[in-house]
Amino acid sequence: MSILLVKNLYKDFSGLKVLNGVDFTVEKGEKHALIGPNGAGKSTLFNLITGKYRVSRGKIYFQGQEITGLRPHEIVHRGIARSFQIINIFPGMSVFENIRNAIVSKQQMRFQVTALLGKNKQVQRETEEIMELMGLSDRRHVQMSALSYGEQREMEIALTLALDPELILLDEPTAGLNKMETERLIDLLRRITRDKTVVIVEHDMNVVFGLADRISVLYYGRILATGNQQEIRNNEEVKKAYLGMKNYAA
Amino acid sequence: MRRKVLMIWVLSISATLLLLLLPRLISGSRIILATEILYFSLYSVSFNLLFGYGGLLPFGHGGLFGMGAYTTGILLARLSGLPILLTIFLSGIFAMIVGAIIGFFSLRLKGAFFSLLTFAFQMFLFALALKWRPVTGGEDGISVLRPEFHLPLLGAISLADRVNFYYFSLVIVTIVLALSYWFLKTPFGNSIRCIKENEERASFLGYQTYRSQFILFCVASFIAGVGGSLSTLTAEMASLEAINVDVSFAAIMMTFIGGAGSFLGPVLGSAFYVVFQDWLSSWTDRWLIFMGALFIVMVLYLDSGLISLLKKETYQRLWLKD
Amino acid sequence: MPLATMFIIQLMHSLVYGMLLFLVAAGLTLVLGMMNVLNLAHAAFYMLGAYLAYAFLKAHVSYWYALVMAPVVIGLLGILFERFLLRRAHRLGHFHELLLTFGAFYILIEVARWIWGTTPQPVAAPPLLAGSIHLWADQVYPVYRLFVLGSSVLILLAFAYLINRTRIGILVRAAVADSEMVNVLGINVPRLILLVFGAGSAVAGFAGVIAAPFLCAYPSMGGDILLDCFVVIVIGGFGSIWGALLAALMIGLVQSFGVLWIPQFALVLEFALMAVVLIIKPSGLFGEKE
């Protein structure tokens, strides 16, 4: 059984048809890349899966259960977490506090009033672990505004990973990073998500070919093709659609 | 770091001494002002739970203060044997119930709409207080007397004495403020902050905005109700003055002028408000206009409140980032 | 009085009040759509209009003069308010704007209370409009109310024309839809905002002047109309002029008929209506989803 099943999904924004019948599956444990030209609907697909927008038609199943129409926090509770293309962190809080927010949620402590947060050793420990994993430990008390863009990007992903979700959706995690920062992030992702299921939207083909087991091509609202790297490279329709895409030939 | 901690200790101890010795330092009638500052502190801190910490701006918070005030008035007038602590507690509870209804609807709206809907609810409560003469006394209000306070071993203390009542209020206000402060440091307090910082991201981390804000609203309503209850006891009267627009605006003014970015800012604002009102009203009836003008000046030019002038160095750790 | 006639009279009352309410609410919605701020001072401008009418009449100035001058004065006041206070608050944050408009609303009411006292001040309708006209049989209806209805409709038609058929109107509509874009296109958006603000405030003042003879001038009329406007915007849907019209007429009905049934609590009915709408369609009758 696939961990994620998207069936015949449509999204219509008051006349603008962004998704026109998307069928998409993700298997447990795989690293699945979603590529396609700008405006093809990749972020929209993420937004539908994670409950930000309402589905116009179609269904979404996660671990066999239908999640179409659930609200974002409900979907998070089921085990899906996403990162954002535009950095969406907690601006007034420090690195430590940001990650701690995710840990508190993961531990289902959001409504706890019986003890002080500062005294909770387990939360403290798990936050430290994540910061170590992401290499941010020495920046723990720094405010978001003082971080570099690359560090903020790492924070964005750290927040997602800290939830320890079953399914991780990364929306252009390397957007705006230079070559070195990108490589560092890829390496980090490979290590951290070793036994997790990841769907990653990307434009940078080096990232795609470096991480992905399977690739799906979303072309103006429909999945054009799905397959492993070889299959996608050799796919005629994909080649036609991507005429002019420089990295693709590599 | 050492100097900061030292300064905090010095300030805390002097503040505590001042509060405890106040009745000796000022005249009898002025101690009422001090008591006013106490219950307004509760009221404005409860407002700041919603505004400074929760990112919500209700224009109708006075309605909850008024609910507490009238509940105490009605209970004291009709159930004279009721222990005073229970009266205060029930006033808070009733204000919380009303707050739950108001919050249930209002929190479904965002921004100015939320603000105005709470205002609309308050106008309804005001109309109720005005017109339901048999219960609320209408324009005349309800006159009450402060009951005795029965302590288990020490016997009865007469609260009719202003100084006694001041200490009584001091203890209650200190306890409730301490509990509020603690409340903000729990995981739930962090959730509220989190939602205020970035509501979208919070929801994508699993936080439930509506539910969390609803709980916060209920807690703030309870505290406001306790404040209102103390106001009735202080003035020995529950009247429309506890539930009109002026009260709501007072909360906004006190909190903002004092400083919404810190826990004790509103307390400072309450002190300023009461003292300033007392001083100004000896000159003019329309002191609210001056207070309002000052408020506007602060909105535009000093939005972190008066407390930022006094305590910038010592209380930096307690700051919320705006 | 036969039931049918009474019904029709009440219906006419509701139409009069509904259009007056729409007049005030329209200015509020326009500014809300264009600047994303709910200007509470707008309701205070309405109240000021009524009080200015009273003041002019007390100074033995004719009502017609007040009808023209008061909106001008208030329009100027609105422009000054926007230029020197609101604009600054806008730069500081979204709470600052709301706090400022609430503060201004509150202060203006206090000033009115100070100058003119708390008891309602009657304002006499001009002799030309006093009295009643015959509708049918021996049924009469106050001329003045018809005047209110007529002038509200006229003003609104004038604005509809301006908005839909003139260049300025197009700019305003564009700015309501996307003010950043309009700015990028080289239009002086701040000046446009000043214009809309001034016009909206003037209309609010005008509404106050025409309301004064049949509602009187009293301090809490600002709060009353604010609440009604709020219900209008919530029910009608944020950003929708047609929704606001429909909602205003509904509120007019509730006010007129509600006052007959439950004199003290017409407000409850409005609330109930609003609660129902909020539960069924949270974005209002004509509002946009998502």
Partners of C282 on chain A (C-beta within 8 Å) are none
Q: How far apart are CA C237 and CA C216, in angstroms?
A: 30
Chain B's closest residue to C91, CA to CA, is B300
Element (H, E) at A197: strand A197-201
How much is the pLDDT for B53?
95
How much is the pLDDT for C285?
67
What would the pLDDT profile of B112-163 be if each residue is shown by its tens digit? 889 989 998 998 899 889 888 899 988 899 999 988 888 877 788 888 888 9
Domains and CATH numbers, chain C: 3-280 (1.10.3470)
What would the pLDDT profile of B176-232 be if each residue is shown by its tens digit? 999 999 999 999 999 999 999 999 999 999 999 999 999 999 999 999 999 999 999
Residues A72, B204: C-beta atoms closer than 8 Å: yes
CA distance B78 to chain A (A): 36
Q: How far apart are CA B72 and CA B142, in angstroms?
A: 10
Listed in order, the ranges of chain A carrying CATH 3.40.50.300 are: 1-79+167-250
What percentage of chain B reaches a pLDDT higher than 90? Answer: 61
Contacts of A83 (CB under 8 A, 6+ apart): A156, A157, A159, A160, A168, A169, A170, A171, A173
Query: A1-79+167-250 falls under which CATH superfamily?
Result: P-loop containing nucleotide triphosphate hydrolases (3.40.50.300)
Give the count of Cβ contacts less than 8 A between chain A and B. 97
What would the pLDDT profile of C33-60 be if each residue is shown by its tens digit? 777 888 999 999 999 999 999 999 888 8
Q: How far apart are CA B55 and CA B207, in angstroms?
A: 15
Say which residue, C244 or C80, is predicted with more confidence: C80
Chain A's closest residue to B209, CA to CA, is A73
What would the pLDDT profile of B33-69 be if each residue is shown by its tens digit? 999 999 999 999 999 999 999 999 999 999 999 999 9
Nearest to B194 among A71, A101, A118 (CB): A101
Q: How far apart are CA B314 and CA C2, in angstroms?
A: 76
Chain B's closest residue to C97, CA to CA, is B299
CA distance C151 to chain A (A): 37
A149 contacts A176 by C-beta, under 8 angstroms: yes
Highest mean pLDDT among A88-92, B303-307, C91-95, C232-236: A88-92
What subunits touch chain C, counting only 3 or more CB pairs under 8 A? A, B
CA distance A104 to chain B (A): 7
CA distance A209 to chain B (A): 28
Per-residue pLDDT of chain A (250 residues; tens, 9 = 90+): 789 999 999 998 888 888 988 998 999 999 999 988 877 788 899 999 999 999 999 999 999 999 998 999 999 999 999 999 899 999 989 999 999 999 999 999 999 999 999 899 999 999 999 998 888 888 888 888 888 888 898 899 999 999 999 999 999 998 888 888 888 888 888 888 888 899 999 888 888 888 888 999 988 888 888 888 888 888 888 877 766 554 544 4
Partners of A47 on chain C (C-beta within 8 Å) are none
Which tokens sit at B12?
A: 């805390």
pLDDT at B318 over 50: no
Residue A117's alpha-carbon distances to A107, A111, C60, C111, in angstroms, are 12, 11, 69, 48
What percentage of chain B reaches a pLDDT higher than 70? Answer: 96
